[in-house]
Amino acid sequence: MTNTNNHQATVTIPNPLGFHARPATKLSKLVKQLDATVILENSEGKQANAKKMFEILGLGLAQGDNITISSDNEVALKVVIEAIEQGLGDDLSAPEETTTENKIDYLLWQPDGKLECHQGVAASDGLVIGKIQHYKQQHFELPNEVGTASEEISQFKQALEKAKKVIEDMKQQAGKKASSEQTAIFDAHISLLSDKDMIADTISLISDGENAPKAYKKISDTRIAELSAVDNANIAARAADIRDVRNHVMNALLGIDIREFDFKEPAIICAEDLTPSDTARLKPDQVLAIITALGGPTSHSAIIARGMGMPAVVALGQKIREIPDNSTLIVDGNAGRVYINPTDEQLASAKQAQENMQALAAKDQARRMEPGQTADGTLINISANVNNAKGVPDALNSGAEGVGLMRTEFLYLESDCIPSEDVQEKAYRAMAEAMQEKPLIIRTLDIGGDKEVAYLDLNHEDNAFLGVRGIRLCFERPDLFMPQLRAICRVAKDFDNIHVMFPMISKISDWEKAKQLLDEVRESVNAPTFPVGVMIEVPSAALLAESLAQKVDFFSVGTNDLTQYTLAMDRMHPILASQADAIHPAVLNLIKMTTQAAEKHGKWVGVCGGAAGDKAAAKLLVGLGVRELSMPAPQIASVKAALREHTLAELQNLAKQALALDSAKAIREIL
């Protein structure tokens, strides 16, 4: 590639794991938005178009590498330099990858006597004992028949759409077992699926006379080989992501059903490598651990395994593929070790170590059903964020004392048409009944911003987060808002655990109008009064808390939006997202302002944003005066345990110290 750009600069890669898929994707998107030519060149003279993620990955950039950046636009060059120096969303304080050598110091179990041991790389902690079951990668039988170019191209495009639907379904399924950050991996897969260069290259081969399956496999296999050859383990591990996307498309092209894992007994899965989709399909009750010959601890399948709490060891080498099925293994996911066929005495020793670990890990779980409270008995309601009745049993079993946030927009996001009043009433009724008289807080429709619904035909907005979203959309679309209010009020006639809160309240008049509409509907269906509150998501609402507290029944702080609006940082921005920390002192001061106003007027404050499930942040929030925390169910036990360790006075003192500091980083250091 000939470089004729006039503006150049040299930058050192700061990312602890190098330029892997996420920063590469974010950089390519940023450069496309800048509409400028930007070329990257590594120390060996290899160049990449910064608009093309695969070319960026092909440079094999590791932490500390110097790259030359050139552009035909000086402003674009400065923006790209700043983005790279800030890490493109990566945590630059993260430690470098732990090596096998220093990881061995953290053995979870040490055998007495001789025992065959394979050393790999730790990917997900845990100590397990079980039988090995081998998993073989899918093989594709490619057809020789070729249709017309238009037929093959049409088949290819249809396969891309089918593959996209499969990945979206996988994301939804994985979301039940892993965090939103971990399921975001599937968003990256959808980006890979729509890579314009791969699509164009495939169509080019089809136009030259190749059929769609052979053309796509040839192009994707070339990309896989290019990444696998990169001398950077983290980037080479991304080949598994492309392989995963390739498999979905090939399945669609060849009419192959997705292979399911189904074992008679729980087993340790051994594979050459596992794709993220393979990992997401694993059933926790059937899989004890994952061991692979290839891969790395930063592979997306390893990230998902950690999110599911499934021990994993990777990069063990091909010898593990020779271990006979049903051999007994001991897997130490902390040290990256796999032991083969231990003696009875060694098994007994490992089981004792396992039991000791499980006892420690179970302490929090054992007390999960206790009321949320501080060490001196101040009650803190610990609730769960649940969107439908199916999720309630798990939440209650996790120790939830209520539902602090039911996102009603999911009724719209998961449907291909506007949910009717009856459909909504059925969903709210099922939730209220499933809650067994525990409080249920229903948030009215919050569409807009990062949540779009195609069939609503909403006008495109350049800045949707500052546009018609939340309660503003409800006012503009009474055809959406009024049926929802009627559905809620119909349920409130039969259940006294109903609470309602309005999103995106920024003015007193917003509250007054929403409350008036609700009251009119409530009276028309003869429903009783019930608690009604507002979300504190924008700074103006916090600044108006003194006035609002005289009118509302409660406040619920949405820390995700409050943080981005307070700091003027898009929480999904590739450069700024990592800086949008909910414990920034500016955000904490707004929360303190809210709790003070609420306390003065005898009202309570909850938090339903991401900070509620952060053990460190939860302590601060309680110290600030928050008395209800709502979070994903898996976080409940650990948050309850964290609060039990401190008296209210200690947490208030901690909050006081935090408010005196000038940065989120400084606050994190005292937690």
The CATH number for 163's domain is 1.10.274.10
Res 30: pLDDT: 85
Which amino acid would we find at residue 164? K
pLDDT higher than threshold 80 for residue 346: yes
Asked if the structure places residue 1 within a domain, the reply is: no
Q: State the residue for tokens 């602090």.
A: 404
Run of H or E including 346? helix 344-366
Whether residue 564 sits in one domain with residue 425: yes
545 vs 455, residue with greater confidence: 545
Which residue, of 215, 233, 254, is where some domain finishes? 254
Report how far residue 170's alpha carbon sits from residue 173's, in angstroms, rounded to the nearest whole number.
5
pLDDT higher than threshold 60 for residue 573: no
What are 500-525's pLDDT values in tens digits? 999 999 999 999 999 999 999 999 99
Helix (H, G, I), strand (E, B), or coil: what is residue 588?
helix
Query: Average pLDDT in the 435-460 region?
Result: 80
Q: Residue 419's closest CA among 388, 386, 384?
A: 388
Helix (H, G, I), strand (E, B), or coil: what is residue 445?
coil
> 252-266, 493-507, 511-525, 634-648: which has the minimum mean pLDDT?
252-266
Asked if the structure places residue 356 within a domain, the reply is: yes
Report how far residue 336's alpha carbon sits from residue 408's, in angstroms, rounded to the nearest whole number.
43
Report how far residue 450's alpha carbon sits from residue 455's, in angstroms, rounded to the nearest whole number.
16
Q: Who contacts 244 (Cβ-Cβ below 8 Å, separation ≥6)?
A: 189, 275, 276, 277, 278
Q: At what angle are helices 149-174 and 239-254 packed, to 10 degrees?
A: 120
How far is CA 424 from its chain centroid? 27
State which of 280-284, 358-362, 558-562 shows the largest mean pLDDT: 558-562
Res 499: pLDDT: 98
213 vs 18, residue with greater confidence: 213
Q: State the residue for tokens 């250091």.
A: 669
Whether residue 390 sits in one domain with residue 361: no
Q: What is each CA distance from 336 to 107, 312, 342, 346, in whole angstroms?
A: 9, 8, 17, 18
582 vs 629, residue with greater confidence: 629
**Cβ atoms of 347 and 323 closer than 8 Å:** no
Asked if the structure places residue 98 within a domain, the reply is: no
Q: How many CB atoms lie within 10 A of CB 520?
A: 12
Query: Average pLDDT in the 254-267 region?
Result: 77
DSSP string, 110-163: --SS--EEEE-EEEE--EEEEEEEEE-------------HHHHHHHHHHHHHHH
Which residue, of 365, 396, 414, is where some domain finishes? 365
Res 609: pLDDT: 80
pTM: 0.59
> 105-109, 384-388, 436-440: which has the minimum mean pLDDT?
105-109
Res 500: pLDDT: 98
Helix (H, G, I), strand (E, B), or coil: what is residue 327?
coil
How far is CA 428 from its chain centroid? 26
Query: Average pLDDT in the 356-373 region?
Result: 88
**Cβ atoms of 11 and 40 closer than 8 Å:** no
Query: Average pLDDT in the 254-274 region?
Result: 80
Q: How many domains does the chain have?
A: 4
pLDDT higher than threshold 60 for residue 234: no
Q: Which residues are identified as catalytic?
A: 300, 608
Query: Average pLDDT in the 471-496 region?
Result: 96
pLDDT higher than threshold 50 for residue 96: no
Asked if the structure places residue 93 within a domain, the reply is: no
Q: How many CB atoms lie within 10 A of CB 600?
A: 12
- Specify the CATH number for the domain of residue 30: 3.30.1340.10
Which residue, of 230, 254, 278, is where some domain finishes? 254
β partners of residue 534: 502, 555
State which of 54-58, 189-193, 520-524 shows the largest mean pLDDT: 520-524
- Kind of pairing, strands 337-340 and 328-332? antiparallel
Domain span at residue 457 reads 367-670
Whether residue 401 sits in one domain with residue 331: no
> What percent of the chain is predicted at pLDDT more than 90?
49
Q: Residue 291's closest CA among 263, 259, 332?
A: 332
Res 424: pLDDT: 96
Asked if the structure places residue 429 within a domain, the reply is: yes
Asked if the structure places residue 592 within a domain, the reply is: yes
Largest CA distance in the chain: 79
Whether residue 60 sits in one domain with residue 180: no
Q: How many CB atoms lie within 10 A of CB 216?
A: 26
Query: Average pLDDT in the 120-125 region?
Result: 80
Whether residue 298 sits in one domain with residue 184: no
Res 108: pLDDT: 86
Report how far residue 90's alpha carbon sits from residue 20's, in angstroms, rounded to the nearest whole number.
10
pLDDT higher than threshold 50 for residue 99: no
Asked if the structure places residue 232 within a domain, the reply is: yes
Whether residue 483 sits in one domain with residue 354: no
What are 322-338's pLDDT values in tens digits? 899 889 999 998 788 99
Banded pLDDT at 101 (limits 50, 70, 90)? very low
Helix (H, G, I), strand (E, B), or coil: what is residue 108?
coil
Compute the residue count for the chain: 671
Report how far residue 20's alpha carbon sits from residue 25's, in angstroms, rounded to the nearest whole number.
9
Helix (H, G, I), strand (E, B), or coil: what is residue 215?
helix
Banded pLDDT at 462 (limits 50, 70, 90)? low
Question: Which DSSP symbol is given to 577?
Answer: G
pLDDT higher than threshold 80 for residue 382: yes
Banded pLDDT at 105 (limits 50, 70, 90)? very low
Report how far residue 557's alpha carbon sits from residue 604's, in angstroms, rounded to the nearest whole number.
11
Whether residue 548 sits in one domain with residue 477: yes
Banded pLDDT at 88 (limits 50, 70, 90)? confident
Phi, psi angles (nearest 5°) of residue 228: -60, -30
Whether residue 291 sits in one domain with residue 235: no
Whether residue 563 sits in one domain with residue 470: yes
Res 182: pLDDT: 56
Average pLDDT across the chain, whole number = 85
Q: State the residue for tokens 């059933």.
A: 283
Banded pLDDT at 103 (limits 50, 70, 90)? very low
Strands, E, within 172-306: which ranges? 267-271, 287-292
Res 19: pLDDT: 78
Query: Average pLDDT in the 368-393 region?
Result: 94
DSSP3 helix / strand / coil % (the chain, rounded to 5): 50, 15, 35
> 122-131, 240-249, 382-391, 456-465: which has the minimum mean pLDDT?
456-465
β partners of residue 448: 451
**Cβ atoms of 107 and 321 closer than 8 Å:** no
Whether residue 67 sits in one domain with residue 208: no
Q: At what angle are helices 585-600 and 559-567 packed, to 10 degrees?
A: 120
Whether residue 371 sits in one domain with residue 360: no
Q: Who contacts 609 (Cβ-Cβ below 8 Å, separation ≥6)?
A: 557, 558, 559, 560, 561, 562, 563, 582
**Cβ atoms of 566 and 592 closer than 8 Å:** no
Q: At what angle are helices 149-174 and 185-193 packed, to 10 degrees?
A: 180
Asked if the structure places residue 125 within a domain, the reply is: yes
Residue ranges in 604-660 assigned as alpha helix (H): 615-624, 636-644, 648-659
**Cβ atoms of 166 and 391 closer than 8 Å:** no
Q: State the residue for tokens 């897969």.
A: 189
24 vs 621, residue with greater confidence: 621
Token reading at 87: 């890490």
Phi, psi angles (nearest 5°) of residue 110: -120, 120
Res 93: pLDDT: 60
pLDDT higher than threshold 60 for residue 178: no
Whether residue 559 sits in one domain with residue 485: yes
Query: Average pLDDT in the 309-330 region?
Result: 88
> What percent of the chain is predicted at pLDDT more than 70?
86
